[in-house]
Homo-oligomer: A and B are copies of this chain.
Amino acid sequence: MTKLPSHVDIREVSLRDGLQIESPIGLSAKLDLLGAVAATGVREVEACAFVSPSKVPSMADAEQLAAHLHRFPGIGFSALVAGTGGARRAMAAGMRAIEYVVAASDAFSRANSGRSSAEATAQIGEIVAIARDSGAVVEVMIATAWDCPFDGPTPPQRVFDIAAAARDQGADRIGIADTIGTATPGRVSALIAGLRPVIGGIPLSGHFHNTRGAGLASAYAAVCAGVNRLDASVGGLGGCPFAPGASGNIATEDLVYLLTDSGIDVDIDLKAAIAAAKVAESVVGHDLPGALLHAGDRIRH
């Protein structure tokens, strides 16, 4: 076991991964959620996705949202892109950090971005070049890193190969995403152990869903393997429109509780995260699955 990190950075993804499966909620509702998220003390927020408005209607207002981000100077914002067109839109909108999604499985890659995993991988260098021209950084987010809803289990070598390409093509960061929430701690530990020699010193982040209840256990396994950057979404909002069976991201407030109670420092205030989760429930108009939303913070300690 690697020594546990003393601090874990949590990137809030409710505005992007959280909302993408929801009906479009309107810009002012997004700004309400963003305001509540900003009040948690979070330092990184994935704000939107520059993708096809017809495929993901809830992200159609990415440019409009991006125009408001200057109001939150303490937060580093990023946006998801699925190709060069989205990367150019993100740069034009002033984004200075992007997540470029490369699915490790072909079937998901085709459903998500209309091309094979190899084709998406080959474009990393071009995405990096577009970002560099604007002084922006690129995280290559490897989707379906453990399982694909169509192809089944993802051979770990596919993940290693994409990570090697990301390294060789100049990615600033690499992320591994359990897109459909089927990863478990044992496979998380194993994949990260295999990735380390491939990626060397490139920062690695983890993105987990809680579809089968194992999301927080998988996230903690990633932390035990030295990962110090995790995605989470207030209330457990989230899902993926192209991944049948996917459900919510791990809930920010539950992750904050787990990490801080385990002795690991985070930037996010627990009570403010629970408050933001309630705002998230309000803006989407339905209950969210986060545990602390239901349990409350009943025991002081």
When distances are taken between beta carbons in the complex, the residues of chain B under 8 Å from A149 are 298-299
Instruction: Tell me whether A186 and B298 are in contact in the complex, defined as CB-CB below 8 angstroms, given that A213-B290, A254-B214 are known contacts.
Output: no
Q: Which residues in window 176-223 of A have CB below 8 A to B?
A: 180-182, 184-187, 210-214, 216-217, 219-221
When distances are taken between beta carbons in the complex, the residues of chain B under 8 Å from A182 are 261, 299, 301
Please report the total number of A residues contacting B with Cβ < 8 Å: 46
Contact with B along A220-238 (1 / 0, CB 8 A): 1100100000000000000
Whether A296 sits at the interface, judged by CB under 8 Å, is yes
Number of identical protomers: 2
Closest beta carbon of chain B to A96's beta carbon, Å: 33
Instruction: Tell me whether A153 and B258 are in contact in the complex, defined as CB-CB below 8 angstroms, given that A216-B216, A295-B212 are known contacts.
Output: no
Contacting pair B185 A262 (CB below 8 A): yes
Closest beta carbon of chain B to A112's beta carbon, Å: 16
When distances are taken between beta carbons in the complex, the residues of chain B under 8 Å from A257 are 184, 212-214
Whether A263 sits at the interface, judged by CB under 8 Å, is yes
Closest beta carbon of chain B to A243's beta carbon, Å: 10
Complex Cα distance A149/B219, Å?
27
Contact with B along A241-260 (1 / 0, CB 8 A): 00011010001001001110
Whether A71 sits at the interface, judged by CB under 8 Å, is no
Whether A152 sits at the interface, judged by CB under 8 Å, is yes
Whether A25 sits at the interface, judged by CB under 8 Å, is no
When distances are taken between beta carbons in the complex, the residues of chain B under 8 Å from A106 are none
Contacting pair A152 B290 (CB below 8 A): no
Whether A67 sits at the interface, judged by CB under 8 Å, is no
- Closest residue of chain B to A213, judged by CB? B291
From the candidates B152, B186, B262, B292, name the one contacting A184 in the complex (CB within 8 A). B262
Closest beta carbon of chain B to A147's beta carbon, Å: 6
Contacting pair A180 B216 (CB below 8 A): no
When distances are taken between beta carbons in the complex, the residues of chain B under 8 Å from A245 are 295-296, 298-299
Complex Cα distance A152/B300, Å?
6
Whether A264 sits at the interface, judged by CB under 8 Å, is yes
Instruction: Tell me whether A184 and B147 are in contact in the complex, defined as CB-CB below 8 angstroms, given that A213-B291, A217-B217, A221-B220 are known contacts.
Output: no
- Closest residue of chain B to A255, judged by CB? B213
Instruction: Tell me whether A292 and B217 are in contact in the complex, defined as CB-CB below 8 angstroms, given that A152-B301, A298-B149 are known contacts.
Output: no
- Closest residue of chain B to A210, judged by CB? B291
Contact with B along A140-153 (1 / 0, CB 8 A): 00000001010011
- Closest residue of chain B to A180, judged by CB? B299
Complex Cα distance A27/B149, Å?
42
**Chain A residues within 8 Å of B, Cβ to Cβ:** 1, 4, 147, 149, 152-153, 180-182, 184-187, 210-214, 216-217, 219-221, 224, 244-245, 247, 251, 254, 257-259, 261-264, 290-292, 294-296, 298-301
List 29 A-B residue pairs with CB atoms under 8 Å apart, sorted by A's residue number: A1-B1, A4-B186, A147-B299, A147-B301, A149-B298, A182-B299, A184-B257, A184-B259, A184-B261, A184-B262, A185-B217, A186-B262, A186-B263, A187-B262, A187-B263, A210-B213, A210-B291, A212-B254, A212-B257, A213-B254, A213-B258, A213-B290, A214-B258, A214-B261, A214-B291, A216-B217, A217-B258, A220-B220, A220-B221
